Structure formats: structure tokens, C-alpha cells
Amino acid sequence: MKKDSKVLNLESIPCPLNLVKCKLALEKLSLDETLIVHLDKGEPEIMVKKALTEMNYFFKTIEEDQKTIKFKILHDN
């Protein structure tokens, strides 16, 4: 059973600080929790998604516009 998702707003946070904050937030999650991340498009999105893939996390885009993206991160069970 999934618990409520936690939200991490990293809009306007520069690289690599947004990646570091995302990793720290993921470390605090239990296996049944999800994390919803808000990011700027471009380099922040590319770097965070690349790192998530390398760490075996699945992510799904929830919302997207020209400047920002919001996605949900799940553990790879």
C-alpha cells in the first residue's frame, strides 16, 4: 500500500544542487513512499533523470510545460 507522496520543489535551484537535494530526499523515503519532483527543463531535468536511471529508480512524468516538469519517482523493486 502506497503512502502519501512527498513533494520536492527544485524549480530555480541550480545544478548540481538540485541533484544533491533530490538524492537526499530519496534516501529519507521508505520503500512504499514516492517522491514528486518539480524541476526546471533543460540541464536540471537531464542531470536528475540521468542520475535516477543510474540509481535504478523509475520515474513517470506527471505534468510538463515549456519551462518546468513534474515527475513521480518510484523505487525499482
Is the bond preceding 14 in cis, omega lying within 30 degrees of 0?
A: no
Query: What is the residue range of 56's domain?
Result: 10-26+35-72
Are 11 and 40 spatial neighbours (Cβ–Cβ below 8 Å)? yes
- Total domain count, the chain: 1
Mean pLDDT confidence for 10-31: 92
The answer to whether position 2 is within a domain reads: no
Mean pLDDT confidence for 48-74: 94
The answer to whether position 63 is within a domain reads: yes
Q: How confident is the model at residue 1 (pLDDT cuts 50, 70, 90)?
A: very low
Each residue of 25-54: b (16+ CB within 10 Å) or e? bbeebeeebbbbbbbbeeebbebbbebbee
d(CA 34, CA 7): 9
Write the CATH number for 67.
3.30.110.40
Percentage of the chain beyond pLDDT 90 is 75
Task: Tell me the pLDDT of the chain averaged across its residues.
Answer: 90
Mean pLDDT confidence for 17-40: 92
The answer to whether position 3 is within a domain reads: no
